[in-house]
């Protein structure tokens, strides 16, 4: 276990320029990653290469889409692709901890990275071609530019994360090469008077199932449509730190990065391959106590290659981690199972994981 100053909740900031700097700079970045990912499950990232004007344009074009009639948006909804492309309607995704209650949010999914034809044949839903609205100027270009910039920041951070754990520098970047990376735009939907305080979930507490998540910063929108601060101190994104003897529930930290920084958080896949040395970060998006406020957000999900085995690397294997993370599972299988768990894929998708050709023998028995 890596020590961190839990009392002050001083989430470390990693400067990506340090990763390209001299020995001292690289050692400083590695120490920040070890503490941040180890004790808190997240770091703040500076010099990340995300242009704030690009993020503004991204939210502008996304708002043009979300303000459309539901029937228009439904045309971009792809349940056949397990919603991994295009528009996800409100009340669709469910966190595992939510006991069946869905999140009150609408989302958009697109991949900013190249799609390999062979992997698309093997995993048609998670490697589908992107779906775009054709009549919102700049939607596709803006979306792809932001997603690509976030992916570059994630790759750089993963190089630093490998160095921080004394692994070869490309250990994680090799793991993610060709993965089903995906960028998501989210809009948490305003509550009406009757819904406020009624237990509506914007985003129930969960950990992300991918390897690393980049969050460039969300924003609240007031009832007039203008950007505004959080309408009350509890609303918005909160992250939960690792449990300790002193804090068995962990600590809740507001997911607001210092000015000019973005947030990077550990997903389940990074936890598994590091045997829990880096811990997946639980997070929750709490609905406001006032009606009419919405929240826009963006997340880029960096994934392991679908053929990668999710199991602690040999460096992190011991009886305890083997017990905690067995059996080894292919990342593509893990993705499918989790998409069923969170209600984006149908339960019948699990049938794809076993043999599906028993009918051939049945046919032979009846015709013989
Ligand atoms: Fe999440």
In a domain, 94, yes or no: yes
- CA 121–ligand 1 middle distance (angstroms): 27
In a domain, 4, yes or no: no
Distance of alpha carbon 47 from alpha carbon 346, whole angstroms: 40
Q: What is the pLDDT of residues 60-103, one digit of tens each?
A: 999 999 999 999 999 999 999 999 999 999 988 888 888 888 88
In a domain, 3, yes or no: no
- CA 179–ligand 1 middle distance (angstroms): 18
Q: In what order do the strands lie in the sheet with 283-286?
A: 203-206, 283-286, 236-240, 252-254
Residue with tokens 């009150």: 104
Q: Which residues of the chain have pLDDT under 70?
A: 1-8
Give the range of the structural domain holding residue 260, as residue numbers without chain letter: 13-367
Geometric angle at alpha carbon 216, from 238 and 18, rounded to 5°: 105
- CA 360–ligand 1 middle distance (angstroms): 42
- CA 233–ligand 1 middle distance (angstroms): 20
Please say whether the beta carbons of 218 and 296 come within 8 A: yes
- CA 275–ligand 1 middle distance (angstroms): 21
Instruction: Indicate the burial class of 114 (C-beta count within 10 angstroms; 0-12, 13-18, 19 or more).
Output: exposed
Q: What is the pLDDT of residues 196-236, one digit of tens each?
A: 988 888 988 999 999 999 999 999 999 999 999 999 988 88
Please say whether the beta carbons of 210 and 262 come within 8 A: no
- CA 365–ligand 1 middle distance (angstroms): 49
The closest of 268, 260, 251, 174 to 213, measured between CA atoms, is: 268
Geometric angle at alpha carbon 203, from 201 and 207, rounded to 5°: 140
Pairing of strands 212-215, 86-88: unpaired
- CA 299–ligand 1 middle distance (angstroms): 8
- CA 339–ligand 1 middle distance (angstroms): 13
| pLDDT for position 2 | 33
In a domain, 25, yes or no: yes
Q: How many domains does the chain have?
A: 1
In a domain, 124, yes or no: yes
Task: Give the CATH number for residue 101.
Answer: 2.60.120.330
Q: For residue 52, give both structure tokens.
A: 């704030």
In a domain, 5, yes or no: no
- CA 283–ligand 1 middle distance (angstroms): 6
Q: pTM of the entire structure? A: 0.94
In a domain, 254, yes or no: yes
- CA 267–ligand 1 middle distance (angstroms): 9
Protein residues near ligand 1, an ion, with CB under 5 A: 208
SS3 363: helix
| pLDDT for position 167 | 98
| pLDDT for position 234 | 87
- CA 114–ligand 1 middle distance (angstroms): 23
In a domain, 7, yes or no: no
The closest of 60, 54, 42, 52 to 4, measured between CA atoms, is: 42
Per-residue HEC secondary structure of 237-251 comes to: EEEECCCCCCCCCCC
| pLDDT for position 102 | 86
- CA 326–ligand 1 middle distance (angstroms): 23
């Amino acid at each position: 276990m890596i020590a961190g100053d839990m009392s002050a909740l001083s989430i470390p900031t990693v400067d990506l320029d340090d990763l390209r700097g001299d020995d001292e700079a690289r050692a400083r970045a590695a120490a920040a990653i070890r503490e941040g990912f180890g004790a808190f499950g997240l770091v703040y990232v500076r010099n990340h290469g995300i242009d704030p004007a690009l993020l503004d344009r991204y939210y502008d074009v996304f708002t043009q889409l979300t303000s459309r009639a539901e029937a228009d948006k439904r045309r971009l909804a792809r349940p056949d692709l397990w919603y991994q492309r295009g528009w996800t309607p409100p009340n669709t995704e469910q966190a595992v901890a939510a006991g069946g209650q869905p999140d009150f949010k609408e989302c958009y999914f697109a991949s900013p990275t190249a799609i390999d034809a062979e992997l698309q044949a093997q995993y048609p839903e998670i490697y589908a071609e992107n779906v775009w609205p054709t009549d919102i100027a700049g939607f596709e270009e803006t979306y792809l530019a932001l997603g690509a910039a976030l992916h570059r920041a994630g790759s750089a951070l993963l190089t630093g994360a490998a160095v921080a754990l004394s692994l070869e520098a490309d250990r994680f970047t090799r793991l993610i090469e060709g993965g089903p990376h995906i960028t998501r735009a989210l809009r948490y939907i305003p509550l009406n008077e009757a819904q406020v305080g009624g237990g509506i979930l914007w985003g129930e507490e969960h950990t992300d199932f991918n390897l690393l998540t980049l969050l460039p910063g969300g924003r609240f929108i007031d009832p007039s449509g203008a950007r505004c601060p959080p309408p009350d101190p509890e609303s918005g994104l909160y992250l939960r730190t690792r449990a300790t003897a002193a804090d068995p529930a962990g600590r809740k930290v507001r997911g607001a990065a210092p000015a000019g920084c973005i947030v990077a958080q550990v997903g389940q896949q990074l936890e598994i391959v590091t045997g829990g040395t880096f811990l997946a970060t639980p997070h929750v998006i709490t609905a406001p106590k006032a009606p009419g406020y919405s929240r826009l957000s963006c997340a880029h999900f960096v994934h392991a290659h679908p053929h990668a085995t999710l199991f602690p690397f040999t460096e992190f294997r011991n009886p305890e981690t083997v017990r905690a993370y067995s059996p080894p599972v292919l990342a593509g299988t893990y993705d499918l199972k989790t998409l069923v768990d969170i209600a984006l894929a149908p339960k019948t998708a699990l049938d794809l994981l076993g043999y599906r050709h028993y009918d051939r023998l049945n046919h032979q028995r009846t015709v013989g």
